[in-house]
């Protein structure tokens, strides 16, 4: 294992401290327990909080700021944050209009966020993301996994919350975006969890893992390596089978890198996916290409499609000012 | 070699087409010869044009747009674009105030941009970037290599050009930023050029290449793997030896990933570098962390420090709207 680290035990604190220092104009870091908030507390809005295991950066801390999250709770690598982090974060950012948790569907995250929700002295609700169409249940999951589509949920709900919308409206929009979003990924290499020191799974130089999870969980099947168009065709077919879009539907297309795949290849995947979606009669009106939900040092990528409507498109386009997504401000 | 590609010969066109489609609100792609321009031609300004071999994305195409480049010419992977690309790009974006080429110091790029400059029927000048302090001459270079500091030159000069400043002023500011910018990188793995199909160099699981170039060129020395703080200490020492900043100097700190290094590690490097710079009495007032000048699929990172002054800081902060850098608009 070759990584830029000092001691395995210090990775999280050192990396979070670096993030906080590099983006001190946007975020503040609390160390005991770990959570990030916006530097300037927002008032008169639902507090939007997310969190999850580290190793998926920029998810979630990179999405804190105007138009998106109020706080994020980073757990240890691939490990859920604990309820005390969530409670402390909620205490810090609650602004009188309730708290909305956005939680990726993994057993540990669901359990801990539920525990926090029960103990929270404020009105609260939870949006559970489950956009990964690869498998129904998985290593750490009952039901579908929440993956890169979570970024879209956080952006859209974060925008609505800035308008002063109430908790029920934010929850409803989050659930709607999740239900209109489908993702699937493919791995060319495993990731290596620092504390383990060796790859999570073995994969041959001639193989790929179709439908891989963002922790290296197994997908649908191990396959022989194929060309990009053939891989994209399978991912898009699985996504469209789930979304069942009507002809002429307007979509957002996200090509997400898992970390080690160069932008050059991600744009090649975009080219391939866009042609396929257009051939299916879909209109791609919004796009995002880059490393937005990663899996430590895995080589691989996922495709996410969201069916847009006027409301979702408007909240996607609205101003956002975070470390990893920024436009119109 | 496992990559998301169809045929090696089509990688460039497919990737450029994907980039153009994903960012059609910002750029337009010309295919014969290959060059990108802003979607909306800018008027009454010096036309800022860059280019170089592909494989360094988002450099340079990701920096086309308001506040930065007017056009970029992508060559084949790690290969200079040709003069006809530069001439056609200049013809497309020249707006009556001359053309400024921003060129990384590699022999092929220098030769081809010089040839284009001689044939260009417009007033023109060139800023040659040479921020890499690792080695004086190198595989493809006489003199120091131009690396991630090029992004800072492009941002700052691009901002000045938007104000209507003349060619001499843009050239002078570019040279100034370059002279106040120093970088050095380190590789943990080689990159693999698709047409070669095998790693550019061999490197052991216990080694690193200190001072590596962005094409995998040799650096200062091959070393045993060390912890992040020790690696950063060497990079920062080389940079400060070059810049010789006075106590209290204000700097921009860029931690640049070469592609395969996760953001979590880049922020850990930021944390380490920031502490060192502060211990040297420097004030880090601007920061950038991410994959801004890559080396195909190499695992590794570089550190860049720019000595700021009021003029450079102002043009760094000004609005920019490109695929890879966007703020204030």
Q: Which residues of B touch A52 (CB under 8 A)?
A: none
| Beta carbons of A267 and B19 less than 8 Å apart | yes
Return d(Cα B309, Cα B329) in angstroms, integer.
23
In a mutational test of the B interface, the residue from A1, A268, A319 whose CB has the highest number of chain B CBs within 10 Å is A268
- Which of A78-92, A151-165, B137-151, B273-287 is the least confident region? B137-151
User: What's the pLDDT tens digit per position in B266-291?
Assistant: 999 999 999 999 999 999 999 999 99
On the 0-12 / 13-18 / 19+ scale of CB atoms within 10 A, B247 is exposed
Q: Which residues of A touch B229 (CB under 8 A)?
A: 6
Query: Is A142 an interface residue toward B (CB < 8 Å)?
Result: no
What pLDDT score does A139 carry?
81
Here the tokens at position B198 are: 């095998």
Return d(Cα A80, Cα A52) in angstroms, integer.
5
Return d(Cα A291, Cα A265) in angstroms, integer.
12
Q: Which residues contact A227 (CB under 8 A, 6 or more apart)?
A: B5, B6, B7
ipTM of the complex: 0.98
Averaged pLDDT score across all residues of chain A: 97
Residue pair B94/B43 in contact (Cβ under 8 Å)? The answer is: no
Strands A320-322 and A326-327: antiparallel
In 3D space, the residue among B179, B161, B178 whose CA is nearest the CA of residue B64 turns out to be B161
Residue-wise DSSP of B177-225:
HHHTEEEEEEESS--B-TTT-SBSS---TTEEEET--TTS---SEEEE-
Residue pair B239/B182 in contact (Cβ under 8 Å)? The answer is: yes
Residue A40 phi, psi dihedral angles, 5° rounding: -105, 120
Q: Is the pLDDT of residue A113 over 90?
A: yes
Q: Which residues of A touch B274 (CB under 8 A)?
A: 18, 21-22
Q: Which residue ranges of chain B lie beneath pLDDT 70?
A: none
Measured at the CA of B188, the angle between CA B186 and CA B193, to 5 degrees, comes to 95
Measured at the CA of B268, the angle between CA B263 and CA B273, to 5 degrees, comes to 120
Q: Is the pLDDT of residue A27 over 90?
A: yes
Return d(Cα A117, Cα A124) in angstroms, integer.
7
Which residues of A are the active-site residues?
56, 215
Q: Is B56 a catalytic residue?
A: yes
| Beta carbons of A297 and B205 less than 8 Å apart | no
| Beta carbons of B2 and A188 less than 8 Å apart | yes
Return d(Cα A245, Cα A236) in angstroms, integer.
12
- Which residues are paired to B207 by β-bridges? B224
Query: Is A8 an interface residue toward B (CB < 8 Å)?
Result: no
What pLDDT score does A142 carry?
85
Could you count the other beta carbons within 10 Å of the beta carbon of residue A133?
A: 23
What pLDDT score does B139 carry?
81
Q: Is the pLDDT of residue A286 over 90?
A: yes
Residue of A nearest to B320 (CA): A327
- Distance (Å) of CA A272 to CA B15, B232, B244, B329: 9, 39, 49, 30
Query: Is A235 an interface residue toward B (CB < 8 Å)?
Result: no
Could you count the other beta carbons within 10 Å of the beta carbon of residue B111?
A: 12
Q: How many residues does chain B have?
A: 329
Count Cβ neighbours within 10 Å for each residue of B283-311 and write b for 16 or more, e otherwise.
ebebbbbbbbbbbbbbbbbbbbbbbbeee
In order of their start, the domains of chain A are: 16-180+318-327 (3.40.50.10440), 182-308 (3.30.1180.20)
- In chain A, where do the E strands start and end? 27-30, 35-38, 47-54, 65-66, 71-77, 99-104, 124-129, 181-187, 207-210, 221-224, 250-257, 283-290, 300-307, 320-322, 326-327
Averaged pLDDT score across all residues of chain B: 97
Could you count the other beta carbons within 10 Å of the beta carbon of residue B108?
A: 17
Query: Is B188 an interface residue toward A (CB < 8 Å)?
Result: yes
Return d(Cα B302, Cα B121) in angstroms, integer.
38
User: What's the pLDDT tens digit per position in A223-252?
Assistant: 999 999 999 999 999 999 999 999 999 999
What pLDDT score does A61 carry?
98
Residue pair A147/A132 in contact (Cβ under 8 Å)? The answer is: yes
Query: Is A246 an interface residue toward B (CB < 8 Å)?
Result: no
The helix/strand/coil state of A186 is strand
Considering only the beta carbons, identify the residue of A22, A58, A268 that sits closest to B4.
A268
Segment holding B302, helix H or strand E: strand B300-307
Considering only the beta carbons, identify the residue of B259, B271, B284 that sits closest to A262.
B259
Residue pair B261/B297 in contact (Cβ under 8 Å)? The answer is: no
Q: Is the pLDDT of residue A137 over 90?
A: no
| Beta carbons of A18 and B271 less than 8 Å apart | yes
What pLDDT score does A311 carry?
98
- Which residues are paired to A300 by β-bridges? A187
| Beta carbons of A17 and B262 less than 8 Å apart | no
What pLDDT score does A138 carry?
80
């Amino acid at each position: 294992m070759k990584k830029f680290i000092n001691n395995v035990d210090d990775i999280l604190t050192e990396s979070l401290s670096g993030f906080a220092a590099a983006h001190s104009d946007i975020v503040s870091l609390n160390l005991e327990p770990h959570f990030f908030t916006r530097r300037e507390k927002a008032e008169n809005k639902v507090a939007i909080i997310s969190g999850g295991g580290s190793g998926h950066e920029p998810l979630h801390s990179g999405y804190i700021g105007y138009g998106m999250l109020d706080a994020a709770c980073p757990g240890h690598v691939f490990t859920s944050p604990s309820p005390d982090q969530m409670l402390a974060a909620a205490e810090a950012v609650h602004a009188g209009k309730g708290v909305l948790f956005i939680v990726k569907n993994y057993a540990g995250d669901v359990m801990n966020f539920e525990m926090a929700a029960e103990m929270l002295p404020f009105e609260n609700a939870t949006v559970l993301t489950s956009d990964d169409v690869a498998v129904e249940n998985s290593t750490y999951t009952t039901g579908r996994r929440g993956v890169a589509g979570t970024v879209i949920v956080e952006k859209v709900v974060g925008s609505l919350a800035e308008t002063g919308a109430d908790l029920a409206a934010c929850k409803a929009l989050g659930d709607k975006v999740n239900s209109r979003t489908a993702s699937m990924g493919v791995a060319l290499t495993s990731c290596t969890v620092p504390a383990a020191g060796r790859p999570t799974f073995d994969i041959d130089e001639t193989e790929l893992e179709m439908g891989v999870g963002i922790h290296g969980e197994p997908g649908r099947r191990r396959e022989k390596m194929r060309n990009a168009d053939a891989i994209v065709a399978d991912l898009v077919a699985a996504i469209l089978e789930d979304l069942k879009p009507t002809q002429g539907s307007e979509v957002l297309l996200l090509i997400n890198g898992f970390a080690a795949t160069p932008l050059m290849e991600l744009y090649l995947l975009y080219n391939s996916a866009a042609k396929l979606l257009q051939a299916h009669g879909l209109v791609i009106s919004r796009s995002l290409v880059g490393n937005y939900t990663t899996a430590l040092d895995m080589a691989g990528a996922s495709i996410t499609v969201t069916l847009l409507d006027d409301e979702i498109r408007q909240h996607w386009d609205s101003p956002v000012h975070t470390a990893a997504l920024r436009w119109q401000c």
